Amino acid sequence: MVMRELAGVLRRVARKSDVVCRHGGEEFLLLLPEATLEGTRGKAEELRREVERLALACEGQPLGSITISAGVALYPQHATTAVALLRLADEALYAAKEGGRNRVVVSGARAFTRVAAEALQSE
């Protein structure tokens, strides 16, 4: 039920040109063609706020608050290959989680970890 509601929020927030897909168990991938860094960061923040506002219940019992963390990476500013871009977005996601969750971290931002840079050098 939670994943279904989250997918609904993703569909409502996404533009017609955006691509939404599930990536792994509890992760989603949102591709924003032709988006600027500020537009992408803004979309991630909008998504984070919309999820935070969800009031979910199961059999009449509230489930409590739901939050998300998001990692943002932009082509070609952060990486020029799909593999590297996904890795940077994933590293930014983990930096968001390590930074306290319920936040958006952009690749290359202060909270971004050294691990991503080292991983890219090995490619």
Give the active site residues. Answer: 26
Residue pair 92/106 in contact (Cβ under 8 Å)? The answer is yes
Residues 6+ apart with CB under 8 A from 17: 32, 33, 34
Distance between CA atoms of 56 and 11, rounded to whole angstroms?
17
Burial of 119 (0-12, 13-18, 19+ CB in 10 A): middle
SS3 89: helix
